[in-house]
Amino acid sequence: MKIEYFGTLKNITGSDSELIEHFASVGYLLEFLFNKYPKLRNEEFMVMVNGVFVKPEFILNSDDTITLLSIVDGG
């Protein structure tokens, strides 16, 4: 699986993308990422799978591309 990071998430992970093992759902993937990058827990972001916004219960396939987009506050 490929994960792409955008915005402030690139700074936290130190990369704009990475390849990881397959996870059953977005929720399990997020728990893995929160353990690997603890600062992610403090960030607000949205998750896309293959270009579609999804919720944590979304089931993943091994060839999916996951995109994490930081939410930017503006005024």
Confidence of residue 28 (pLDDT cuts 50, 70, 90): very high
b/e burial code for range 24-41 (CB count within 10 A of at least 16 → b)? eebeebbeebeeeeeebe
List, in order of start, the domains of the chain with CATH numbers.
Answer: 2-70 (3.10.20.30)
75 pLDDT higher than 90: no
Res 73: pLDDT: 56
* Higher-scoring residue by pLDDT: 74, 40: 40
Res 72: pLDDT: 76
Confidence of residue 66 (pLDDT cuts 50, 70, 90): very high
